[in-house]
Amino acid sequence: MLNDTQFNRIWVSLVVYLVQIPLYFIMSYVAFSFLYGKPLIYQILSTNSAVGSIVANVFHSWVACELIFFVHYALAKRRLGKYSQEIPDMSLEDRWDLINQCLETIDDPVDWCTGWFRDKSTLRRPHIQEIRQGNIREWLAWAFWGKSMPRVLANPLHAEQLEQLLELAFEKLGNKIAGGYNDRLQCIRLNLDPIRSTYRPLVLYGVVYVLTYIFDYHLMQLGFNRYENGSRRQSWRSILLDDAEAIKEAMSGGMPSPGGKIVHWHRPATGVAKGPPIVFVHGIAAGLMCYNWFIQKLLRHCGENRGLIFIEMPYVSMHINQAIPTSPELVDEIRKMLDIHGYDKATFMGHSLGTCVVNWVVKNIPERVAGVTLLDPVVFLLHYSDLAYNFVHRAPTTPNERLISYFAAQELYTAFYIARRFDWNDNMMFIGNQDGKAYIKRYGDDSIPLGDLKVFVSENDNLINSQRVLHYLKAKKVDCELMPKLDHAAFLFRTDWGDNISRVHA
């Protein structure tokens, strides 16, 4: 994406500040208008002219909308923070399978342990000597149960398993942990921690919606048809109504309702089909439009001989949308999607968060998977703190970190998804290898063979430890390729890597 230069730091910081200016401007305008006794705009425009009156009315309408939206943001953040999704409980056998797979892939126990903790006052990472057994017990209760420690200890079976897990952790750490509890430390527990988000003006959401509609029109011109929950919904009326319903629900003040509409775009092969279709799942940003150049590459290299399907996830695309389907609902819809279009199998390609969706598909409907391509994957070695800390808790310093933090991680509805609807354990992907063939390990079940697995890792990925992930994948003999000097999602702006990735399935 962007090199870490002083110029890039300045202009990225300037963009972030400019986006936040409307709120400060409106607050100042309202305050000074009250002090002055009448709206300040009347000092500039004449209320006697029709044009001046119209401009003043439009301006005040915008000010009112932004103020209402700011109040909505404050109330919604508080409301969504109280949302509690019960993470599905595992069987005793499945949890031990997960624990063992995590412990087997820890090559740096001290880094693994200390990364999940921060000093409350300085936010620095503590030394291993500062962490106490009570701190680790508290974190393990969240990591493998998704609950607070008192709730885990309330179940005798879970309490016993937690103590056994604690002994294994101590053994992994060389028994370096002292007893007691260090209350100066806090551990990262995503679905228990407060939602970390920052306000962005209504006008910014409006710009994103307009650009999304323009890109939707572009997809239609390219021959794609839009489907919603399995039915073709191509009209602009249906698109606008869907967004209006999502906004209405989010603004209503109620808790998120179960499930959510699932939209995908489909274009059949324009020539003779020579392979299964490609199903692409985007990551966190502003939706499919961020992938325009990459989509053009897929069309050029694969559009003639393969069908193309793009899945939308508006709840992580800077949309006002709190309706989020569960992973089983999304997988079931993907199964129906393939049936509707007459495909027995598909090659699934995911980028960033999209690799989690691909992981769900592989685990739950492996019979529909012809191949897997993962771009900037975030599903490997999730028991290390890299992704959780870098995406949610890190104070950004570089231009890329600042862009990801403000325009992705700290958007309210994206932050809600990560903090309350992201099942950490469900998104982990463990790879095995037998007779030179990769397979995915699934807790308590037979392993799932992967005949065609390709992984692309960015060398300078600022969200994950790319060298650690690359070492893990190569040790498992996975066909993986390092994208030199690239940061997370930077391949989207490099035509050479767009060509290389799309040619894999040409």
Q: How many whole angstroms separate alpha carbon 374 and alpha carbon 280?
A: 10
Predicted confidence at residue 89, as pLDDT, reads 77
Q: How many whole angstroms separate alpha carbon 156 and alpha carbon 492?
A: 50
Predicted confidence at residue 111, as pLDDT, reads 93
Q: Is the pLDDT of residue 445 over 60?
A: no
For 373-418, write each residue's pLDDT tens digit.
Answer: 999 999 999 999 999 999 999 989 899 999 999 989 999 999 999 9
Contact 39, 56 (CB under 8 A): yes
Q: What is the pTM of this model?
A: 0.92
| Helices assigned H by DSSP within 365-423 | 386-388, 399-404, 412-416
Tokens coding 29: 């305008």
Average pLDDT over residues 254-271: 86
Helical packing angle, 92-104 and 133-145, nearest 10°:
120
Q: Is the pLDDT of residue 337 over 60?
A: yes
- Percentage of the chain exceeding pLDDT 70: 96
Predicted confidence at residue 303, as pLDDT, reads 87
Lowest mean pLDDT across 36-45, 76-85, 348-357:
36-45
Query: With left for phi above 0 and alpha for psi between -120 and 50, is residue 37 left, alpha or beta?
Result: left
Average pLDDT over residues 303-319: 94
User: Mean pLDDT of all residues in the chain?
Assistant: 89
What Å distances lie between residue 407 and 14, 68, 91, 209, CA to CA?
13, 21, 38, 15
Q: How many whole angstroms separate alpha carbon 326 and alpha carbon 85?
A: 11
Q: Is the pLDDT of residue 256 over 90?
A: no
Q: Residue-wise over 16-33: b if at least 16 C-beta within 10 A, else e? A: beebbebbeebeebeeeb
Contact 208, 319 (CB under 8 A): yes
**Matching residue, tokens 């680790």:** 136
Tokens coding 154: 């309330």
Most confident of 1-15, 201-215, 488-502: 201-215
Q: How many whole angstroms separate alpha carbon 487 and alpha carbon 485?
A: 7
**Matching residue, tokens 């767009």:** 498
Going by pLDDT thresholds of 50, 70 and 90, the confidence category of residue 452 is: confident
Predicted confidence at residue 38, as pLDDT, reads 78
Q: How many whole angstroms separate alpha carbon 90 and alpha carbon 165?
A: 15
Q: How many whole angstroms separate alpha carbon 118 and alpha carbon 116?
A: 7
Average pLDDT over residues 445-458: 79
**Matching residue, tokens 């609807």:** 421
Query: With left for phi above 0 and alpha for psi between -120 and 50, is residue 373 left, alpha or beta?
Result: beta
Average pLDDT over residues 499-506: 87
For 418-438, write each residue's pLDDT tens digit.
Answer: 998 888 888 999 988 776 677
Average pLDDT over residues 220-234: 88
For 165-194, write each residue's pLDDT tens digit.
Answer: 989 888 888 877 888 999 999 999 988 999
Q: Of how many residues is the chain composed?
A: 506
Predicted confidence at residue 386, as pLDDT, reads 95
Q: Is the pLDDT of residue 47 over 70?
A: no
